[in-house]
A and B are shown apart, each in its own frame.
Chain A
Amino acid sequence: MQFAIAIPTDADSWRVVRRAEELGFARAWFYDTQMLSADPFVAMAAAAIKTTKIRLGTGVLIPSNRIAPVTANAFASLNKLAPGRIDFGVGTGFTGRRAMGLGAVKLADMEEYVRIVMALLRGETVEAEIERKKRLIRLLNPELGLINTRDPIAL
């Protein structure tokens, strides 16, 4: 059995994440609660630079907070800072959406969102509905090395 921490995201959550790493915790989950706490990708980036082995995951990302290509890009960007240590935790949105008076994202929409994100991270050209129209998209030049789509990002 391994142990992890789950944190209402603070922009400098890296401090507690680094301590968690020192204490042997295996993972840190960052809340995606935009009306309540800091942005998880900002905090995860700082934690990625300040740690060396603890896994960093969104706990859990709300699909409606970012379009799928932006999420794929964010994870690939983090993956350059912490190769192979990134976890894509996703949910239908509870706290983050209810704090704005909204219910959960539909499960089918979340599944479609995950499909697009993971396909982009695999380097595929994928059809996605953006601004109410189906379009073909892909990450255009990962070979430049500005992001990392080589090391796996776990779902």
Chain B
Amino acid sequence: MTAKLGAGWIATASDIEGAVAAMTDMQERRRAAGRETEPIDAVVLTGGAILEEGEPADSPRAIAQAGPRAAMLLHRAADAALAGLPMMAPMPPSVAETVAGYVELARKFTPQGAHYLENHRGHLMFVKPEERPFVTAELIRRTTYTATERELRERFAALAEAGYSEIAVQIVPGQEHAIEDWGRIRRAFA
């Protein structure tokens, strides 16, 4: 539909390979729609945290700023297992066991039959205490843009090379000061 309407496009891939593949697919669809020569407003919507050198991906700061985005995969998996809704995103094999552990927790959410109330509480905003054990460094690394400034600049440059025109970074409630860090990265691309 995006290609047919010549609309802007928001992609939510959490890794470079996925984002590049999504762009390749979109470009093909635009070609099929006769819009390949038109400029495209192509956004990658993501979240993460800018780590200091040596800072782990599950530091308190990373959990606060990137954890909510990482927990999306947990919530999707619970929706898939408990309500048959589509996953919407690939499961990195290295976190499959972690995610399965969260799904078992979600089976106990009450009221039964409305697991989505507790499952989505805090979605994209904070990590619930009961889900904290499942928001691991690996989950954050695999599903968010959480890395050092140098690594993030390289990733964003790869997205620009692939044809994206905008990186949209999530600012989590209570972590608004993170915008100053992201502002530094923005200036590097100015």
Contacts and interface: CB of A to CB of B under 8 A. Distances in A.
Interface string B33-52: 00000000101010100000
Interface in A8-28: 8, 10, 15-16, 19-20, 23-27
Given A2-B166, A7-B171, A23 B120 contact: no
B1 to A, nearest CB: 5
Given A59-B10, A154-B41, 15 more contacts: A1-B164, A1-B165, A1-B166, A2-B166, A3-B182, A5-B170, A5-B179, A8-B172, A16-B179, A23-B180, A24-B190, A31-B124, A95-B120, A101-B83, A155-B8
Given A59-B45, A98-B120, A1 B159 contact: yes
Interface in B159-184: 159-160, 164-173, 176, 179-180, 182-183
Contacts of B5: 114, 155
Interface of A: 1-8, 10, 15-16, 19-20, 23-27, 29, 31, 33, 35-37, 59-60, 87, 89, 91, 94-95, 98-101, 103, 107, 110-111, 114, 154-155
Contacts of B1: 107, 110-111, 114
Nearest to B84: A103
A43 to B, nearest CB: 12
A155 B8 CA distance: 6
Contacts, number: 119
B10 A33 contact: no
Interface of B: 1, 5, 7-8, 10, 41, 43, 45, 47, 75, 79, 83, 85-86, 88, 114, 116-117, 120, 122-125, 156-157, 159-160, 164-173, 176, 179-180, 182-183, 185-187, 189-190
